[in-house]
Structure 1
Amino acid sequence: MKNLFILVVKRILAAHYPDVVMSHKEIITEVMGRFTFKSKGKELLSKGWHHVIPATDERDIMLPTLLKESVGDVTNTLTTKSKTKPPNRYTSSSLIGFMKNAAQAIEVEEMKSIKNLPLGTEATRAGLITLLESRKYIEWKNNKVYPTLLGITIIDSIKMGSVIKSPILTAKWDVKLNEIGASLYNHNDFIAHSKKLSSVLFEEVKTYSTKWNQNGVERIKSDSIGACLLCGSNVILRKGKHGEFYGCSNYEDSGCSLNLPFKVLNKKLSKKQLMELLQKGETDIIEGFKWKDKTFNAPLVWNREDQKVQFGK
């Protein structure tokens, strides 16, 4: 009963004391000009209510108050064995949380002053992640994100140290855009610099593309539905920026640009109709095309001169 009474009294007294004030601190210690050690912990600035109720959290590492360039003697050493652990993999929620502020990923000292570095917006972040997944750059396992072989290949294919691999590029642009908003930087200079940077990056890609290792990268597999109307190669199912479509299999080698739409005026085309278009250069009459308030029927034909699909008579 006495101990309970003392505990209640201490709690009441502590409530009338000022707050305990601590700061997170990091001390860099250099030994013999050769070795550097980093110590992280807390420094007690004001004891506050700890005068009444002492601290009990033994996990807190308290560091002494030191001045910069302070000198001391090494009186004892202790060696421990441990293994570093990789960072936890992102989940869907933690990945979006990281994208809200990617400043924590900046390792360059002169850019660490940037405290706020959002990637995307509230409306686009989920869509960006979905886009990476649809392009087979990432995949999900037990709600954790993993890079695919294709994603790893793309990152490894970019020149080591290239600014495009780092959030620093976004950080610099963020600084410049803020300066433009405050009329401290000319927007024309920003555009000119962006164009110059784009040229440099494209040259990097051209130079290093010959060294890309794509062994084992899974490619889209699809049976041919016919011969290309432009070059005669196979027409297969491909994936592009806006989803799947039927296009020429020789696109990567020759740049053949044939692509056939899945829909025309909101009318979905069947695989049979597309095969018919490739074989005959035209389809039978297709019913159900809609334009404004009208519905009409028409065949699709291949215009050899304009090299495009259009409506026939």
Structure 2
Amino acid sequence: QLAKLPVLQRQVYDLVLKTTLAMFAGPYEYTETTIITQVGEALFKSVGKVPINPGWRRLFKTKSVEQGKDTLPEVTPGQTVQAVLTTPTKQTTPPKPFTEGTLITAMKTAGKTLDADEAAVLKDVEGIGTEATRANVLETLKRRHYLVTNKNELHVSGTGVTLCQAVALEPLLTSPSMTAKWEIALKEIGKKKRTPENFLGQIKLLIQKLLKEVPEQFAQNAYLQTQLVAQQQVEQKQQAQAAVGVCPICKTGEISDRGKFYGCSNYKNGCKFTLPKQWSGKKLPISAIKQLIKTGETAQLKGFKSKKMGKTFSAKLKLEAGKLRFDFN
């Protein structure tokens, strides 16, 4: 009857039979062994297992089982062996980019890279930040375009690289040990070994020191200055490509997509003109935005929704003194 079974069914039967027999077979016994092999003046260390009794593994005799990567041959101390030395040629691969999940985990386990005392403190507080703040930190970095997401992977933007290099001028700002020291100070406050005023006073002095030194260090770094100018040129080019029109208020700035709204490139010089992407429950098409900027009003638009009644209606949009309103004429 077994011979009449199809090949796949015989293989399944054979696997079930061997697994059942293995439950009652003797144990696989081995010694964990370290072998030191001397070649000239060099010592080579091998760690693995030397089988003594195959036990249940006898039922699964395959090349991969008999010659596992962790299996060593049986040798005796002082035995002479023939050594063949080769230099492997390999190519390194870059580490995998962080995802939001793996980066948050790295923040949580930051204490592993510190010395024993500081690591113990960060282990107690679970690394840098808290469960509630770590995700917010990443969102802020993305919102300010220091981090960009591509296929669920996080990458540092050109602006982010410039920021990292600028911050690196002051090692205190990049050291996880600073978090550890602050946590130690907070514990001392809890034990009444330090006052809150003392702690806040030291932080105030640190901030004043950083505000004075970092801009000066940045200004004196020719490489960073060149990189900043190049980055600004790239951003200006990107803004120009993404611009939807000339600002109707300041007449010199460009209106472009700012994420959740459209804004003027002259905002640093005081122009506060913005346009929403959504108005009364309707997502405004880019054609309507361009028309508003160019002529001050749109054609009749459908799909607005009343907040009070919940009914949809149609209307024009009009700009008056930089403010958006409905025009039902």
Counterpart selection for 2:108 from 97, 100, 108: 100
Equivalence for 1:161: 170
Counterpart selection for 1:150 from 136, 155, 159: 159
1:214 aligns with 2:228: yes
In structure 2, how many angstroms separate the alpha carbons of the residues matched to 1:112 and 1:127?
A: 24
TM-score normalized by structure 2? Answer: 0.53
1:113-134 residue CA offsets vs partner (Å, 9 max, x unmatched): 5242423444554564465456
CA distance change for structure 1 residues 265 and 163 in 2, over 3 Å: closer, same or farther?
farther
Equivalence for 2:251: 232
Provide the secondary structure at the position in 1 that maps to 2:228: coil
Equivalence for 1:251: 267
Amino acid at match of 1:269: L
2:170 and 2:214 in contact (8 A); partners too: no
2:121 and 2:183 in contact (8 A); partners too: no
1:56 aligns with 2:33: yes
Equivalence for 1:119: 128
In structure 2, how many angstroms separate the alpha carbons of the residues matched to 1:205 and 1:289?
A: 51
1:227 and 1:278 in contact (8 A); partners too: yes
In structure 2, how many angstroms separate the alpha carbons of the residues matched to 1:186 and 1:86?
A: 50
2:255 and 2:262 in contact (8 A); partners too: yes
1:237 and 1:244 in contact (8 A); partners too: no
Note the residue ranges of structure 1 that are not aligned, 5 or more in a row: 1-7, 12-52, 62-84
Flag the structure with higher helix content: 2
TM-score normalized by structure 1? Answer: 0.55
Q: How many residues align?
A: 238
CA distance change for structure 1 residues 198 and 271 in 2, over 3 Å: closer, same or farther?
farther
2:188 and 2:194 in contact (8 A); partners too: yes
In structure 2, how many angstroms separate the alpha carbons of the residues matched to 1:169 and 1:86?
A: 32
In structure 1, how many angstroms separate the alpha carbons of the residues matched to 2:103 and 2:153?
A: 9
CA distance change for structure 1 residues 227 and 95 in 2, over 3 Å: closer, same or farther?
closer
Equivalence for 1:261: 276
1:152-189 residue CA offsets vs partner (Å, 9 max, x unmatched): 22111236134222223333333344445566554455
In structure 2, how many angstroms separate the alpha carbons of the residues matched to 1:297 and 1:158?
A: 51
In structure 2, how many angstroms separate the alpha carbons of the residues matched to 1:178 and 1:114?
A: 10
Per the TM alignment, residue 298 of structure 1 is displaced from its structure 2 partner at its CA by 5.3
Equivalence for 1:170: 179
Amino acid at match of 2:111: A
1:254-288 residue CA offsets vs partner (Å, 9 max, x unmatched): 24332222123432112222223223334456551
Note the residue ranges of structure 2 that are not aligned, 5 or more in a row: 1-25, 36-44, 48-91
Whichever of the two has the greater Rg, that structure is: 2
Per the TM alignment, residue 149 of structure 1 is displaced from its structure 2 partner at its CA by 3.3
Amino acid at match of 1:114: V
Per the TM alignment, residue 232 of structure 1 is displaced from its structure 2 partner at its CA by 0.9
2:110 and 2:128 in contact (8 A); partners too: yes
1:224 and 1:234 in contact (8 A); partners too: no
Equivalence for 1:275: 290
Equivalence for 1:17: none
Provide the secondary structure at the position in 2 that maps to 1:226: strand
Per the TM alignment, residue 203 of structure 1 is displaced from its structure 2 partner at its CA by 4.1
Amino acid at match of 1:96: I
